[in-house]
Amino acid sequence: MNDQTRWAIQRAAEAIASSEALLITAGAGMGVDSGLPDFRGPEGFWRAYPPLQKLGLSFADMAQPHWFETNPELAWAFYGHRRQLYRQTSPHAGYQMLRRWGQLMPAGGFVVTSNVDGQFATAGFFVDQILEQHGSIHLDQCTKPCKSIPWFQCRVGWPSQSGTTIDLEELRVRGPLPECPYCKAMLRPNVLMFNDSQWVSARRDWQANNYAQWLGRTRGRKLAIIECGAGTAIATIRVMGEQVAQRSNATLIRINPDASHEHPSSISIPLPALHALQAINDALPESFWDRAGYRPGAEPPAKGTPTASDDSLLDRKYSQVYGEHWKFRTLQGHWFSVEKLKVEHLYVGMLEGLPSSDDCIRAMERLVEEARNTFPGRLEPVVLKPPLMDPNSYNALFPPLAFTASIASSWCIEGDEDDIFGSFMTLIWFVEIGDERSMTELTKDALTQINWKAIATRSLGP
């Protein structure tokens, strides 16, 4: 590492430590340190898929939707193998460093990536903190398409539950191909390919809206932009970061082995992603870590996406709910008394995938019946459905909602803490599995989504 690079790393650390928000833009080079193949150039692509070299097919040639019509066995072998590869790959430590930095920013962080590998979500970033510009290979859609939404293919059971195998020697699927559960047409990955007029962009559009709102909230605040492994062949990610960097209070940090120190408008670090991120992490001042009251070496080992066997987040939620009765006051001055709060874990018993609309419907029905039996004579329970839930859909939910909480709460219109006059209601709502807010904050957030004064009208008095 030369002196210029050391100086760039120090400048990057200072920029991050003094920032209030963090934008992460990532291209294919971000995943190389995790062991994922680098498809830049035909040589790297053909090393990963030798049969395609014999056919003279490049990555751009294969990433075309017409293969699902003209040679579906080849198309699904290519995308099915990539899906399996990404699911078997653990994100390198740099993802966790970025996630921690974003958590320490007053305005939080956001990820914009052209990668379809899902590695940021696996590393623990919330799905509503990510904009996957080209979609996700872990989702499928109908080839027609008959639906305007994608869903998790693992819930359909292909290939593991269908007897299908992928022959890498011939790069061909052996066995039945996945079918749309609605119209029985063939499925395809929900990724944006070249010359793709049938890509279902609903999830990307939802993420893009989240990104626009987050950018709006960061306006006027000091922003650090970390670009990792974004190439120039398709410069979408570079351009997005450069556009945001035009703000007067934004700093662009470009991490790429091919980066040049000659760009005065940015901090360029010519190193692989993990190497550069580790160096920046080591250079961050103690004042930055003091925001959370810890030093980098003192925190517990970072975990990936929660699974059915990982109950640490569930235990943490239960630890926030102490006793049978607690109170809090909203910013508007209203007191809420909460009783018998229950947390339900929708991941239990699920081998893979995320809760679907059907899973949440069953959970809501079960909790509604339980609330009726627990608090007889009260008003019908109020249910807040998860965002993007389609009761007629096989679609997995976004964001992934794994906690269901049922509460009975009383409110007091203008009374003080000891005023018990008000009305009772039972509220059932859903919480993102990785949400670190306290139960008080989660309850307040749920209450803001309903007209509780109009709903809770039954008096406790005589």
- Would you say residue 288 lies in a domain? no
* Whether residue 321 sits in one domain with residue 251: no
pLDDT of 408 higher than 70: no
* Whether residue 249 sits in one domain with residue 364: no
pLDDT of 311 higher than 50: no
* Whether residue 250 sits in one domain with residue 391: no
| Range ranked top by mean pLDDT from 170-184, 285-299, 386-400 | 170-184
CATH of the domain at 164: 3.30.1600.10
- Domain limit, last residue, from 238, 255, 272: 255
Q: Is the pTM of this model over 0.75?
A: no
pLDDT of 312 higher than 70: no
- Would you say residue 290 lies in a domain? no
Cα gap 435→437, rounded to integer Å? 6
- Domain limit, last residue, from 229, 255, 281: 255
- Judging by beta carbons within 10 Å of its beta carbon (0-12, 13-18, 19+), is residue 290 exposed, middle or buried? exposed
- Would you say residue 267 lies in a domain? no
Mind listing the pLDDT tens digit for each residue in 96-144?
999 989 988 988 899 999 999 888 888 878 777 899 999 998 888 999 9
- Would you say residue 244 lies in a domain? yes
* Whether residue 351 sits in one domain with residue 250: no
- Would you say residue 297 lies in a domain? no
C-alpha pair distances (Å), 343 with each of 160, 317, 385: 32, 8, 16
* Whether residue 161 sits in one domain with residue 14: yes
CA 427 to mean position of chain CA atoms: 26
Nearest to 98 by CA among 281, 269, 271: 281
pLDDT of residue 17: 95
- Domains: count for the chain: 2
Range of the domain at 122: 3-255
Mind listing the pLDDT tens digit for each residue in 42-90?
666 777 788 888 888 888 888 899 999 999 999 998 898 888 888 778 8
Q: At 335, is the pLDDT very low, low, confident or very high (cuts 50, 70, 90)?
A: low
* Whether residue 161 sits in one domain with residue 29: yes
* Whether residue 212 sits in one domain with residue 333: no
* Whether residue 209 sits in one domain with residue 97: yes
Cα gap 46→54, rounded to integer Å? 9
* Whether residue 242 sits in one domain with residue 123: yes
Cα gap 14→26, rounded to integer Å? 21
Give bridge partners of residue 269 from the DSSP assignment: 255
- Would you say residue 274 lies in a domain? no
* Whether residue 190 sits in one domain with residue 44: yes
- Domain limit, last residue, from 255, 289, 324: 255
Phi, psi at 447, each rounded to 5°? -65, -30
Average pLDDT over residues 426-431: 79
- Would you say residue 272 lies in a domain? no
